[in-house]
Amino acid sequence: MLGTNLNHIETAASLEKIISENENVMVCCGRMGPMCLPVYDIMENLEDRYENVKFFDMEFDAPEAGVIRNLPECRSFAGLPFTVYYKDGKVVQATSSIQNKDEVKTILNAQFGE
């Protein structure tokens, strides 16, 4: 399990349940590395501002994370973390590698409203 203050997803079944029960979901699938830590921090800082979005992390190297790693939207990704945005159970955007707060907010606003 990742050492963040985010809610953790440990299984593919849990991810499916989360995205089926919540309209807007952001999942950051990564490691505790230098490219991932800033994204987790941003998510933790934005949780209170975006009450209509559920924020989660998932450990990239866990076998169950194949559900994220193998998404068509993530096939060409090379850098960690893989960040996936779901709306109504469907992927609406996916990014890879480090992002800054403005980049994350731009996606959240465009996909889920402010």
Q: To 10 degrees, the CA torsion angle through 77, 15, 45, 24?
A: 90
Q: Does residue 2 fall inside a structural domain?
A: no
pLDDT band at 1, cuts 50/70/90? confident
Q: Does residue 100 fall inside a structural domain?
A: yes
This model's pTM is above 0.95: yes
Strands (E), the chain: 7-9, 24-30, 54-59, 82-87, 90-96
Instruction: Give the pLDDT of residue 69.
Output: 96
Q: Does residue 67 fall inside a structural domain?
A: yes
Q: Does residue 34 fall inside a structural domain?
A: yes
Q: Does residue 73 fall inside a structural domain?
A: yes
Q: Does residue 106 fall inside a structural domain?
A: yes
- Is a pLDDT exceeding 80 seen at residue 114? no
- pLDDT, one tens digit per residue, over 55-111 is 999 999 999 999 999 999 999 999 999 999 999 999 999 999 999 999 999 999 999
How many separate domains does the chain show? 1
CATH number at 38 reads 3.40.30.10
Which range marks the domain in which residue 37 is found?
7-112
